[in-house]
Amino acid sequence: MQTPSGHPVAPAPGARLVVLASGGGSNLAALLAAHEDPAYGARVVGVVSDRPGAGALDLAREAGVASVVVAPADFADRDAWNEGVAEAVAVFRPDWVVLAGFMRILAPSFLARFPARVINTHPALLPSFPGAHGVRDALAYGVRQTGCTVHVVDDGVDTGPIVAQTAVPVLDGDDESSLHERIKVAERALLVETVGRVARDGLVVEGRRTRIG
Protein backbone atom coordinates (compact mmCIF):
# COMPACT_ATOMS: atom_id res chain seq x y z
CA MET A 1 0.00 0.00 0.00
CA GLN A 2 1.27 3.54 -0.73
CA THR A 3 0.26 7.04 0.30
CA PRO A 4 -0.51 9.50 -2.55
CA SER A 5 3.02 10.88 -2.11
CA GLY A 6 4.45 7.43 -2.65
CA HIS A 7 5.54 6.60 0.88
CA PRO A 8 4.78 3.01 1.77
CA VAL A 9 2.32 2.56 4.62
CA ALA A 10 3.22 -0.31 6.91
CA PRO A 11 0.16 -2.49 7.38
CA ALA A 12 -0.68 -3.08 11.04
CA PRO A 13 1.12 -6.29 11.91
CA GLY A 14 -0.56 -9.59 12.29
CA ALA A 15 -3.82 -11.36 11.71
CA ARG A 16 -6.88 -9.73 13.23
CA LEU A 17 -8.37 -11.69 16.13
CA VAL A 18 -11.79 -11.10 17.61
CA VAL A 19 -12.22 -12.87 20.94
CA LEU A 20 -15.63 -13.87 22.33
CA ALA A 21 -15.69 -14.43 26.08
CA SER A 22 -18.35 -14.80 28.77
CA GLY A 23 -16.25 -15.06 31.91
CA GLY A 24 -13.13 -13.94 33.72
CA GLY A 25 -11.07 -14.00 30.57
CA SER A 26 -7.80 -15.64 31.61
CA ASN A 27 -7.47 -17.05 28.09
CA LEU A 28 -8.10 -13.61 26.64
CA ALA A 29 -5.45 -12.22 29.01
CA ALA A 30 -2.94 -14.74 27.65
CA LEU A 31 -3.72 -13.72 24.06
CA LEU A 32 -3.43 -10.03 24.99
CA ALA A 33 -0.02 -10.69 26.54
CA ALA A 34 1.12 -12.63 23.46
CA HIS A 35 0.01 -9.96 21.00
CA GLU A 36 2.34 -7.41 22.60
CA ASP A 37 5.08 -9.11 20.59
CA PRO A 38 4.82 -8.18 16.89
CA ALA A 39 6.47 -11.49 16.04
CA TYR A 40 3.41 -13.27 17.42
CA GLY A 41 1.70 -12.57 14.11
CA ALA A 42 -1.76 -11.87 15.49
CA ARG A 43 -3.41 -9.19 17.56
CA VAL A 44 -6.71 -8.91 19.36
CA VAL A 45 -8.65 -6.14 17.65
CA GLY A 46 -11.95 -6.63 19.44
CA VAL A 47 -13.64 -8.45 22.31
CA VAL A 48 -17.32 -9.41 22.27
CA SER A 49 -19.18 -10.68 25.32
CA ASP A 50 -22.72 -11.83 26.01
CA ARG A 51 -22.39 -10.73 29.65
CA PRO A 52 -22.17 -7.07 30.70
CA GLY A 53 -20.22 -8.02 33.86
CA ALA A 54 -17.67 -10.29 32.20
CA GLY A 55 -14.13 -9.81 33.52
CA ALA A 56 -12.97 -10.16 29.93
CA LEU A 57 -14.41 -6.70 29.23
CA ASP A 58 -12.24 -5.15 31.94
CA LEU A 59 -9.18 -6.88 30.49
CA ALA A 60 -9.99 -5.49 27.05
CA ARG A 61 -10.40 -1.98 28.44
CA GLU A 62 -7.11 -2.20 30.34
CA ALA A 63 -5.37 -3.36 27.14
CA GLY A 64 -6.92 -0.57 25.08
CA VAL A 65 -8.85 -3.05 22.92
CA ALA A 66 -12.37 -2.22 21.78
CA SER A 67 -15.11 -4.31 23.36
CA VAL A 68 -18.83 -4.69 22.93
CA VAL A 69 -21.59 -6.45 24.85
CA VAL A 70 -24.25 -8.30 22.88
CA ALA A 71 -26.61 -9.55 25.59
CA PRO A 72 -29.43 -11.96 24.68
CA ALA A 73 -31.80 -9.94 26.88
CA ASP A 74 -31.51 -7.03 24.45
CA PHE A 75 -32.81 -9.08 21.50
CA ALA A 76 -36.24 -10.38 20.58
CA ASP A 77 -35.11 -13.97 20.05
CA ARG A 78 -32.09 -16.20 19.49
CA ASP A 79 -31.95 -15.55 15.76
CA ALA A 80 -31.83 -11.81 16.33
CA TRP A 81 -29.15 -12.25 19.01
CA ASN A 82 -27.03 -14.40 16.67
CA GLU A 83 -27.35 -11.75 14.00
CA GLY A 84 -26.35 -9.12 16.56
CA VAL A 85 -23.24 -11.07 17.56
CA ALA A 86 -22.30 -11.62 13.91
CA GLU A 87 -22.66 -7.91 13.17
CA ALA A 88 -20.62 -6.95 16.24
CA VAL A 89 -17.85 -9.37 15.24
CA ALA A 90 -17.89 -8.38 11.55
CA VAL A 91 -17.31 -4.72 12.42
CA PHE A 92 -13.80 -5.70 13.55
CA ARG A 93 -13.06 -7.41 10.18
CA PRO A 94 -11.56 -10.51 11.82
CA ASP A 95 -9.22 -12.97 10.19
CA TRP A 96 -9.98 -15.35 13.05
CA VAL A 97 -12.73 -15.48 15.65
CA VAL A 98 -11.62 -17.09 18.91
CA LEU A 99 -14.16 -18.40 21.43
CA ALA A 100 -12.32 -18.23 24.75
CA GLY A 101 -14.78 -19.22 27.44
CA PHE A 102 -17.80 -18.16 25.41
CA MET A 103 -20.61 -20.10 27.02
CA ARG A 104 -23.29 -19.86 24.34
CA ILE A 105 -23.92 -21.82 21.18
CA LEU A 106 -23.62 -19.82 17.97
CA ALA A 107 -26.07 -20.57 15.18
CA PRO A 108 -25.04 -21.96 11.78
CA SER A 109 -25.89 -18.53 10.35
CA PHE A 110 -23.13 -17.02 12.49
CA LEU A 111 -20.60 -19.64 11.40
CA ALA A 112 -21.55 -19.12 7.76
CA ARG A 113 -20.41 -15.50 8.07
CA PHE A 114 -16.89 -16.66 9.10
CA PRO A 115 -16.45 -20.04 7.40
CA ALA A 116 -13.74 -22.23 9.01
CA ARG A 117 -12.53 -19.11 10.80
CA VAL A 118 -14.04 -19.71 14.24
CA ILE A 119 -11.84 -21.48 16.78
CA ASN A 120 -12.89 -22.63 20.26
CA THR A 121 -11.00 -23.74 23.33
CA HIS A 122 -12.61 -26.44 25.44
CA PRO A 123 -11.48 -27.75 28.84
CA ALA A 124 -11.49 -31.48 28.02
CA LEU A 125 -9.99 -33.90 25.53
CA LEU A 126 -12.68 -33.90 22.86
CA PRO A 127 -14.61 -35.82 21.71
CA SER A 128 -14.94 -36.75 25.39
CA PHE A 129 -16.91 -34.43 27.62
CA PRO A 130 -18.29 -31.74 25.30
CA GLY A 131 -20.66 -29.07 26.54
CA ALA A 132 -20.74 -26.54 29.33
CA HIS A 133 -19.40 -28.83 32.09
CA GLY A 134 -16.41 -30.55 30.50
CA VAL A 135 -14.32 -30.48 33.69
CA ARG A 136 -17.11 -31.65 36.00
CA ASP A 137 -18.16 -34.42 33.61
CA ALA A 138 -14.60 -35.76 33.23
CA LEU A 139 -14.13 -35.80 36.99
CA ALA A 140 -17.47 -37.53 37.56
CA TYR A 141 -16.62 -40.16 34.94
CA GLY A 142 -13.39 -40.98 36.77
CA VAL A 143 -10.90 -40.48 33.92
CA ARG A 144 -7.25 -40.27 34.98
CA GLN A 145 -6.31 -38.03 32.04
CA THR A 146 -8.30 -35.09 30.77
CA GLY A 147 -7.02 -31.86 29.22
CA CYS A 148 -7.91 -29.19 26.74
CA THR A 149 -8.70 -28.97 23.04
CA VAL A 150 -8.49 -26.20 20.47
CA HIS A 151 -10.83 -26.94 17.58
CA VAL A 152 -12.56 -25.39 14.60
CA VAL A 153 -16.20 -24.68 15.40
CA ASP A 154 -18.85 -26.45 13.36
CA ASP A 155 -22.64 -26.68 13.76
CA GLY A 156 -22.44 -29.19 16.63
CA VAL A 157 -21.55 -28.67 20.28
CA ASP A 158 -17.74 -29.02 20.52
CA THR A 159 -17.74 -31.43 17.56
CA GLY A 160 -15.58 -29.52 15.07
CA PRO A 161 -12.21 -30.68 13.66
CA ILE A 162 -9.48 -30.77 16.31
CA VAL A 163 -6.42 -28.54 15.85
CA ALA A 164 -4.43 -29.20 19.03
CA GLN A 165 -4.75 -30.90 22.42
CA THR A 166 -2.85 -31.12 25.69
CA ALA A 167 -3.42 -33.87 28.26
CA VAL A 168 -3.67 -33.00 31.95
CA PRO A 169 -3.69 -35.69 34.65
CA VAL A 170 -6.49 -35.91 37.18
CA LEU A 171 -4.92 -36.03 40.64
CA ASP A 172 -6.27 -37.78 43.72
CA GLY A 173 -8.18 -35.20 45.70
CA ASP A 174 -8.96 -33.01 42.69
CA ASP A 175 -12.27 -31.21 42.76
CA GLU A 176 -13.77 -29.36 39.77
CA SER A 177 -12.10 -26.11 40.73
CA SER A 178 -8.56 -27.45 41.30
CA LEU A 179 -8.72 -29.54 38.13
CA HIS A 180 -10.07 -26.65 36.06
CA GLU A 181 -7.34 -24.32 37.33
CA ARG A 182 -4.67 -26.85 36.29
CA ILE A 183 -6.33 -27.36 32.91
CA LYS A 184 -6.47 -23.61 32.40
CA VAL A 185 -2.70 -23.32 32.81
CA ALA A 186 -2.23 -25.83 29.99
CA GLU A 187 -5.10 -24.32 28.02
CA ARG A 188 -3.68 -20.81 27.97
CA ALA A 189 -0.36 -22.07 26.65
CA LEU A 190 -2.05 -24.27 24.05
CA LEU A 191 -4.40 -21.52 22.87
CA VAL A 192 -1.66 -18.91 22.56
CA GLU A 193 0.64 -21.29 20.70
CA THR A 194 -2.07 -22.66 18.41
CA VAL A 195 -3.68 -19.35 17.52
CA GLY A 196 -0.27 -17.85 16.82
CA ARG A 197 0.73 -20.71 14.54
CA VAL A 198 -2.63 -20.65 12.74
CA ALA A 199 -2.42 -16.89 12.28
CA ARG A 200 1.14 -17.02 10.96
CA ASP A 201 0.94 -20.15 8.83
CA GLY A 202 -2.75 -20.74 8.06
CA LEU A 203 -4.98 -23.70 8.77
CA VAL A 204 -5.98 -26.43 6.35
CA VAL A 205 -9.11 -28.41 7.21
CA GLU A 206 -9.69 -31.65 5.28
CA GLY A 207 -12.72 -33.43 6.63
CA ARG A 208 -11.98 -34.13 10.26
CA ARG A 209 -8.22 -33.66 9.87
CA THR A 210 -6.50 -30.30 10.26
CA ARG A 211 -3.01 -29.11 9.41
CA ILE A 212 -1.29 -25.86 10.28
CA GLY A 213 0.70 -24.39 7.41
Judged by the rule CB under 6 A, the positions of this chain that interact with ligand GAR are: 21, 23-27, 100-101, 103, 121-123, 132, 134, 184, 187
3-state secondary structure of 80: helix
Q: Is 1 annotated as a binding residue?
A: no
26 is in an annotated binding site: yes
Enclosing H/E stretch for 149:
strand 145-152
Of all residues in the shown chain, the one whose CB is closest to ligand GAR is: 101
Q: Is 122 a catalytic residue?
A: yes
Angstrom distance (rounded) from CA 175 to CA 170: 9
Q: Which helix (H) or strand (E) holds 62?
A: helix 55-63
In the bound state with ligand GAR, the residue whose beta carbon lies nearer, of 157 and 201, is 157
Burial of 138 (0-12, 13-18, 19+ CB in 10 A): buried
Active-site annotation holder among 35, 122, 151, 180: 122
Q: Is 25 annotated as a binding residue?
A: yes
Nearest distance in Å: CB 95, ligand GAR: 21
Q: Which residues are annotated as a binding site for (6R)-10-formyltetrahydrofolate?
A: 78, 103-106, 120
**Active site residues per annotation:** 122
